[in-house]
Chains A and B, each alone.
Chain A
Amino acid sequence: MTSAEELRRRTRELLAAHPPASTDRLDFLRARFDAGLAWVHYPEGLGGLDAPRSQQAVVDAELEAAGAPDNDSRRNGIGLGMAAPTILKYGTEEQKQRFLRPLWIGEEVWCQLFSEPGAGSDLAALGTRAVREGDEWVVNGQKVWTSGAHNSRWAILIARTDPDVPKHRGITYFVCDMTDPGVEVRPLRQVTGEAEFNEVFLTDVRIPDARRLGEVGDGWRVAQTTLNNERVAIGGMRLPREGGMIGLVSKTWRERPELRTHDLHQRLLKLWVEAEVARLTSERLRQQLVVGQPGPEGAGMKLAFARLNQEISGLDVELLGEEGLLYDDWTMRRPELVDFTGREAGYRYLRSKGNSIEGGTTEVLLNIVAERVLGLPAEPRTDKDVAWKDLAR
């Protein structure tokens, strides 16, 4: 176990050996990774020191005070939040050595080739096929809603490798090279006007067997690691009071008294209370994690933040009145990340509609809470013991 004092000492050594002011940004980040100070809860040699996750804050505080460059983690959310924990848990030693360092540094951005036109909430129904040919797999199919595919070097991919067994059992998990022949990325324009996500067409893409994660046919179990981490990443942020969208609308309320109405006042106060309470629940969850007793609240936080973002951003548009009738920019762009605060109220209203769909729809997450937290029975199913190829489509 590495103590806080030890981490502080190591961080200072790193800063002394690579002064941020005179070191190239990527060189500094590489040195930080190699010193085990990237994500301290990861193993030694893989950017960490096997320290408690909570002690990352000690390192971050030292680095921030010294003005050290950041790995700009928002640009690689899927890589850091989903691909990395999955590679760590299921990857071979070679895979961990190859992928984790450039992933953490941000040199290589990742996307997620999971959802398909016919397999969204029912993800295990996916039909993208991977057929083995010697040491390679030949992949054919179509993925959709792939955020950031246009910026990504690598993708985590699930594909069907055995259509003769029930749908959850015949899936295998791969790492896909987005620069390979046969990978075609087409932008999908969204309600906001921009294209954060894409369709990805896979035509005879050849993936070496060495880029398989986990056993053949075990991809569903591997994917659970990815999906559980996704929900933690979406719901687990730490906010100060008025730190989210409620802060933006509260600011407008204070600065523009001419916009106030009694109805909006009632709704604003109600949402302010709910945002503060959600923040406290999130903080309580964080405190549970720090003492090593994660609570089931994480499953619900994404639900709460999605609804709040939607209601608050809707109120924001109404509050603005005449301005609310306008929109800042409908240009079709392909942004690297979602930027709520850099855009205006109409954009936030429209973009927040995705919050209850991305990373699992609200309806699916409510089922998960009901079944896994409350222990209620699942709905009867007709697809469980049927080979995937025999399912009605």
Chain B
Amino acid sequence: MTDLLYSEEEEALRAAVRDLLADHCDAPGVIARTESDTPHHREAWKALADGMGLAGLLVPEDKGGQGATHREAAVVLEELGRAVAPVAYLTSAVVATEALLACDADDLLADLASGRRIGALAVALNVAPGTAYKVVRHEDGPLRGELTGIADAAVADVLLVPADDGGLYAVDATAATVTPQVSLDLTRPLATVTLDGAPARLLGDAEPAVRRALTAGAGLLASEQFGLADWALTETVRYLKERKQFNRPVGGFQALKHRLAQLWLEVVNLRAAARNAADALATGEDVEVAVTVAQAFAGPVAVHAAEEALQLHGGIGMTWEHPAHLYLKRAKADSIAYGTAGAHREALAGLVDLQAP
């Protein structure tokens, strides 16, 4: 039976991550950082990875990790979503790590698990599990080609690149040209990766590794989306209890109460869906349906929560200095990341035998 609750250890982990982010990753700091040359929060990453060892949650202990499961990683992602933290956790500690777990690359795995190096899977962020992705040319050793939409590539030390011979290769970031793209989501920026005869090391077959990586990414993204949506709801409720118009707290008007109650319902539903996906990834049971259901549900809910937060904060919500826009940008980008809700519904049709006409 799927366990949809949080254990005491998971709650303790949540509290620790939340404390850390409160100290290292406040909203004004994140906003200022997005306008600098280094949107990635190295200090927060170091505290999470070095200080708490969280980059290695999914890696077995004998390979240098913590030997935890997707359930714990999901709790970390809930808190990172709540803070729209600009760290490469989902891309490196989940997606790149899962790709490496499917290959034979223990040295790299240990590096990523320790947080000493950051990895990025060189597949565009919008690609859904099990669908086509772009590859580079393999020319007797070095790799050539250009890949776009690679999340967190700008901060990666190692890129995991699929090539046209069906292999997945490790390329040192210094051997590639990584050009930041102007991204909708400032806290998880995309970049173009250009390989011009870059030396590469074969890790294993790309197809199963990429599928596994994107499935885990999509499943755990739902927890980030839950954290984000929960922040948006909580913060909006708090604000509407304080903000007065017409000599009453705005949150006392029934038109707004009903909207917030509906949003609450969506958010508690999202928590159950995200928890189910994390538990399925941890146990290996019912993974495809659980992940697909979570991703078909999560995107629209997170976007709705962020849009409501902006709207109900009124003019303040529209300003650059209020963090609502960070959440909206992340939510909208997340709704495309690892496949849109529509792509996941299409996949679901095959999984549960509800075929198209």
Contacts and interface: CB of A to CB of B under 8 A. Distances in A.
B23 interface: no
Contact of A269 (B256, B262, B354): B354
A278 interface: yes
A376 interface: yes
Given A250-B354, A283-B4, A284-B4, A369 B345 contact: no
Contact of A377 (B2, B252, B262, B353): B252
Given A287-B3, A370-B261, A269 B349 contact: yes
Nearest to B254: A379
Contact of A374 (B2, B248, B249, B261): B261
A277 B261 contact: no
**Which interface residue of B241, B251, B269, B276 has the most chain A CB atoms within 10 A?**
B269
Contacts of A320: none
Contacts of B297: 273-274, 277
A269 B248 CA distance: 42
A375 B241 contact: yes
Interface of A: 250, 253-254, 257, 260-262, 265-266, 268-270, 272-274, 276-278, 280-281, 283-284, 287-288, 291, 295-297, 300, 303-304, 363, 366-367, 369-371, 373-380
A280 B276 CA distance: 7
Given A273-B345, A274-B297, 9 more contacts: A253-B354, A273-B296, A281-B268, A367-B257, A367-B258, A373-B261, A376-B237, A376-B260, A380-B248
26 contacts: A250-B354, A265-B357, A266-B345, A269-B296, A269-B345, A269-B348, A272-B354, A273-B345, A278-B269, A280-B276, A283-B2, A284-B272, A295-B268, A300-B264, A300-B265, A366-B261, A366-B262, A367-B257, A369-B265, A373-B264, A374-B260, A376-B249, A376-B251, A377-B252, A378-B252, A379-B252
Q: Binding site of B, secondary structure by majority: helix, strand, loop or mixed? A: helix
A295 to B, nearest CB: 8
Nearest to A373: B264
A369 B264 contact: yes
B273 A300 contact: no
Query: Interface size for chain B: under 10, 10 to 19, 20 to 34, or 35 or more residues?
Result: 35 or more
Contacts of B269: 274, 277-278, 280-281, 304
Interface string B319-357: 000000000000000000000000001101100111111
B270 to A, nearest CB: 8
Contacts of B262: 366
Contacts of A304: 265, 269
A261 B237 CA distance: 41
B5 A297 contact: no
Interface string B2-20: 1111000000000000000
Contacts of B123: none
Interface of B: 2-5, 237, 240-241, 248-249, 251-254, 256-258, 260-262, 264-265, 268-273, 275-276, 293, 296-297, 345-346, 348-349, 352-357
A377 B261 contact: no
A272 B349 CA distance: 10
Contacts of A366: 257-258, 261-262
A262 B357 contact: yes
Nearest to B348: A269
A373 B237 CA distance: 11
B216 to A, nearest CB: 19
A291 B8 CA distance: 12
Contacts of B248: 377, 380
A344 to B, nearest CB: 21
Instruction: List the 10 closest A-B pairs by CB distance, nearest first.
Output: A370-B257, A377-B252, A260-B357, A284-B4, A369-B261, A280-B272, A281-B272, A269-B345, A366-B261, A376-B251
